[in-house]
């Protein structure tokens, strides 16, 4: 009899412990912080577009690198260049928002009304699921003073290259003389992330008057073990290929190092192209024709080891 009582007590304690554990896990997983407080708790939400799930498209999200939620106003940074300065760092006002339980309702100035079911993954990570498009977006929260701008440049470098009408060669040093020494301008178009143009026109030539001597395709590679370095290959029509290490000096200058000839080139961006609401661009009369509907796509890069420079 005593054994049965002890067994009953043991089983009861085990059941109680299991029940408490289950309740604790439910409380931990259930978000008790209001959604409005969560999304306004960070200055910037980086749209990690490369993690997007689904084939649908919400244009104002696929245009944006960051979104900000403040007092019912939605702001977006659609450019990498000047991110951190435009709109005090928050970007351009593009719409309004409201929250209902775990639903985020956004009325965009161009794209209209969209509803998102919000899932909190971590204190600084959320998912936005749009039922109509059956698409999920991943956002990461940052304060302006802790945002990793370098990471933004390198993760989205194909788009950074598109934000100037042309890249003008401003400096050359070292290496063996080669044909690329005579190419003074590069252009990377936003219609896709694979086409480039090259010109031998004299420095100072107006963009509208440039003659593009070469056209070809390009590809950017991650470099294993390096977060602040890429490799870019320029493949010209006809089969010639140039391979460079690509690094960002600042938001207007890049450096190319020729792996074949050992020459270092620096290029300066000329003719900044700001993208506003719905992909709208602000262009002056001399700006080369560009797509006003630039959208980000999922970039899946190959990786390479860094070649020894000795």
Which residues are CB-neighbours of 107 under 8 A, at least 6 positions away? Answer: 95, 96, 97, 113
Between residues 53 and 276, the one the model is more confident about: 53
- The CATH number of residue 134's host domain is 2.40.128
Give the burial class of 166: count Cβ atoms within 10 A of its Cβ; 0-12 exposed, 13-18 middle, 19 or more buried.
buried
Between residues 309 and 253, the one the model is more confident about: 253
Using CA atoms, how far residue 168 sits from 165, 233, 244, 288, in Å, is 10, 18, 16, 15
**Domain annotation covers residue 309:** no
- Are 184 and 294 within one domain? yes
- Tell me if 257 sits within 8 A of 244, measured CB to CB: yes
Dihedral in degrees, nearest 10, Cα atoms 122, 96, 151, 301: 90
Q: Has this prediction a pTM greater than 0.85?
A: no
pLDDT at residue 183 greater than cutoff 50: yes
- Are 2 and 17 within one domain? yes
Question: Which of residues 114, 147, 180 is at a domain's end?
Answer: 147
Domain count, the chain: 3
Residue ranges making up the domain that contains 22? 1-30
- Are 267 and 133 within one domain? no
Taking only the tens place, the pLDDT of each residue in 9-58 is 333 434 434 444 333 334 334 557 899 999 999 999 999 999 999 999 99
Q: Give the integer Cα–Cα distance in Å for 289 and 103.
A: 40
**Domain annotation covers residue 91:** yes
Q: Give the integer Cα–Cα distance in Å for 50 and 159.
A: 13
Find the mean pLDDT for residues 160-174.
Answer: 96
Question: Which of residues 147, 182, 198 is at a domain's end?
Answer: 147
Find the mean pLDDT for residues 272-294.
Answer: 56
Between residues 91 and 238, the one the model is more confident about: 91
- Tell me if 24 sits within 8 A of 111, measured CB to CB: no
Q: Give the integer Cα–Cα distance in Å for 294 and 289.
A: 13
């Amino acid at each position: 009899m005593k054994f049965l009582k002890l067994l009953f007590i043991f089983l009861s304690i085990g059941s109680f412990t299991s029940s408490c554990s289950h309740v604790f896990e439910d409380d931990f997983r259930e978000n008790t912080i209001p959604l409005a407080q969560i999304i306004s708790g960070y200055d910037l939400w980086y749209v990690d577009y490369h993690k997007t799930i689904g084939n649908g498209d919400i244009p104002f999200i696929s245009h944006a690198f960051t979104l900000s939620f403040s007092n019912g106003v939605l702001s977006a940074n659609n450019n990498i260049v000047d991110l951190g300065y435009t709109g005090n760092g928050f970007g351009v006002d593009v719409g309004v928002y409201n929250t209902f339980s775990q639903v985020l309702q956004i009325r965009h100035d161009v794209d209209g009304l969209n509803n998102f079911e919000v899932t909190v993954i971590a204190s600084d990570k959320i998912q936005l699921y749009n039922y109509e498009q059956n698409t999920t977006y991943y956002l990461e929260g940052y304060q302006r003073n802790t945002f990793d701008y370098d990471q933004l440049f390198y993760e989205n470098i194909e788009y950074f290259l598109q934000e100037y009408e042309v890249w003008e060669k401003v400096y050359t040093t070292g290496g063996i003389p080669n044909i690329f020494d005579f190419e003074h301008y590069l252009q990377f178009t936003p219609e896709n992330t694979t086409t480039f143009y090259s010109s031998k026109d004299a420095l100072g030539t107006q963009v509208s008057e440039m003659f593009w001597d070469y056209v070809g395709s390009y590809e950017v590679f991650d470099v294993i073990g390096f977060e602040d370095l890429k490799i870019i290959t320029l493949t010209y029509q006809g089969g010639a290929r140039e391979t460079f290490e690509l690094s960002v000096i600042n938001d207007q200058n890049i450096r190319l190092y020729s792996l074949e000839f050992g020459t270092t080139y620096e290029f300066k961006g000329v003719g900044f192209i700001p993208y506003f609401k719905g992909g709208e661009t602000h262009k002056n009369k001399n700006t080369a024709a560009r797509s006003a509907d630039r959208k980000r796509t999922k970039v899946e890069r190959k990786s390479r080891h860094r070649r020894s420079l000795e």
